[in-house]
Amino acid sequence: MTGPCPVAPPDGRPWVYLASQSPRRRQLLQQWGVACLPLLPDADEDAEALEGALPGEAPLAYVRRVTRQKLRAAQARRQRRGWPEGIVLCADTTVADGADILGKPADAADAARMLQRLSGRRHQVFTAVAVARDRREWLAVSRSVVTFKPLTPDEIASYIATGEPFGKAGAYGIQGRAGLWARRISGSYTGIMGLPAYETAELLRRAGLRLL
């Protein structure tokens, strides 16, 4: 894709290139007063391939590595398209049950397996956010702990039927119906959603964009 760059907001609002298809990340940035210009993969890019875990890779190392790879792929994409310099932002979220990475479910059975693992237990949610401007890069990671109530098979099946688990790490979205299961949350709620507010604001500030 070598088409024209989307036009930056004419009203002077701060803006970033958002290299993410997540509507939740876009909504959060917009709530914080940041306009988003989409910097999505071309049709011939295998974006999903970046999310594969390496053998024995720890969740924290995984989320940091994948986010850096996504950022560099987005930077290369912007340059390839001939779009002007600007702040590029991307993020990645992973759910960890101990040392095991729970990614996006492949199907309903996979979603059920993940939710059964999380039932009645604590798990960690890591979200890495990365920002680039010119040739500089910044990265930060938010770690949160979520405790779910014990889930019945009917609750899991009903939740899967809503379609919410698909496309989400750990097969759930805290901002949706699964939030009703969270007995306790320690950390960043927005981080669990997919974009930690504090870390994002700090990285954008370092890149020259202040939200307040």
The three-state secondary structure class of 152 is coil
Nearest to residue 96, comparing CAs of 58, 149, 52? 58
Would you say the C-alpha torsion 155, 160, 165, 171 has a positive or negative sign? positive
132's tokens: 């680039």
Set 11, 92, 100, 154: catalytic member: 92
**60: CB partners within 8 A, 6+ apart:** 126, 141, 143
Name the nearest CA neighbour of 94 among 141, 160, 163, 132. Answer: 141
Is 110 marked active-site? no
State the catalytic residues: 92
